[in-house]
Amino acid sequence: MPKFKLLVFDWDGTLMDSQGRIVNSFQAAIADLQLEYRNVNQIRTIIGLGLEEGIIALFPTLAQSPRLLLAKHYYDYFWSAAALPTPLFSGIAEMLQTLHATGYWLAVATGKSRLGLNRSLNDTGLQSLFLSSRCAEETSSKPHPQMLQEIMAELEVSNSETLMVGDTDYDLQMANNAGVASVAVSYGMHEKDRLLKCRPLVCLDDLSELPVWLQNFES
């Protein structure tokens, strides 16, 4: 019997290469409102939080009204026809299909909106692989454990049977806060040294290695 029954994946930066689109959309929205410039690294560091929490992290003193306007402009740019493409990372679809066929239960815990996740699932054709998902506006933002706790409660799976997979310390801290083990990936939004401070079981350079790693870890 495998140690883990439920594998919960972050989306942006873990399964999907969306950094360029997110950064460009934020920078264009910031310019529209004539706010102080934020560079790529400043924006990268807040990816994984809910949009409201990310905006507050970028502009701590910004009042509520311009925060809401910035969010609207961000969404307008993100969903525009001219936005950069957001492909799955290489090997991700095959990796998820392998895990699903092996018998693992799959879920998503993401800082994306529900609209954004549903569009991504539909565009990639992966919706049938996931039993549950939670998005930023539905629960507390990472690293609060509520996303994971709700998924585990819905599927009646214990924290010892659950594994969180993500590319930011928000994902890994959420797992720690929920008493759940984690796997990090090194190619996403946060640097490997930052991820390792959260004590994941492993930090993979290529997530397509996850099925083999799980097989070895659980044998």
- Does residue 139 surpass a pLDDT of 60? yes
d(CA 51, CA 47): 8
Domain boundary among 78, 100, 126: 78
What is the span of the domain harbouring residue 42?
Answer: 19-78
Q: Which of 10, 17, 169, 171 is catalytic?
A: 10
- Do 69 and 135 share a domain, yes or no? no
205 is known as an active-site residue: no
Give 58-70 pLDDT, tens digit per residue.
999 999 999 999 9
Decide if 139 is inside a domain.
yes
Query: Model-level pTM?
Result: 0.94
Tell me the mean pLDDT in the region 82-97: 94
Residue 50 lies in a domain: yes
Q: Do 56 and 157 share a domain, yes or no?
A: no
Is there a single domain that holds both residue 13 and residue 24? Answer: no
**What pLDDT is attached to residue 82?**
79
203 in a structural domain: yes
Neighbouring residues of 51: CB distance < 8 A, sequence distance ≥ 6:
71, 74, 111, 113, 136
Residue-wise pLDDT for 104-114, tens only, equals 999 999 999 99
Residues 127 and 33 in one domain: no
Query: pLDDT (tens digit, 9 = 90+) per residue, 150-177?
Result: 999 999 999 999 999 999 999 999 999 9
74 and 115 housed in the same domain: no
Q: Is 10 a catalytic residue?
A: yes
Q: Are residues 56 and 99 both part of a single domain? A: no
120 and 166, same domain (yes or no)? yes
Give the CA radius of gyration of the chain.
17
Question: How high is the pLDDT of residue 2?
Answer: 59
Q: Does residue 120 sit in the same domain as residue 179?
A: yes
Q: How far apart are CA 17 and CA 122, in angstroms?
A: 16
Shared domain check, 167 and 151: yes
Amino acid 1: pLDDT: 44
Q: Are residues 25 and 112 in the same domain?
A: no
pLDDT digits (tens, 9 = 90+) for 176-194: 999 999 999 999 989 999 9
Task: Supply the pLDDT for residue 81.
Answer: 77
DSSP SS3 for 102: helix
What integer best gives the mean pLDDT of the chain? 95
- Please check whether residues 60 and 138 belong to one and the same domain: no
CATH number at residue 61: 1.10.150
Residue 204 pLDDT: 98
Picking from 49, 78, 107, the residue at the C-terminal end of a domain is 78
Catalytic annotation, pick one of 12, 17, 167, 171: 12
How far is residue 71's CA from residue 146's CA, in Å, rounded to a whole number? 23
Within-domain flag for 1: no
Asked if residue 29 belongs to a domain, the reply is yes
Query: Is residue 80 scored above 50 in pLDDT?
Result: yes
Whole-Å CA distances, 79 to 15, 52, 116, 180: 19, 17, 9, 34
Q: How far apart, in Å, are the Cα atoms of 50 and each of 54, 153, 193?
A: 6, 22, 23
Number of domains into which the chain is organized: 2
**Residue 99 within a domain:** yes
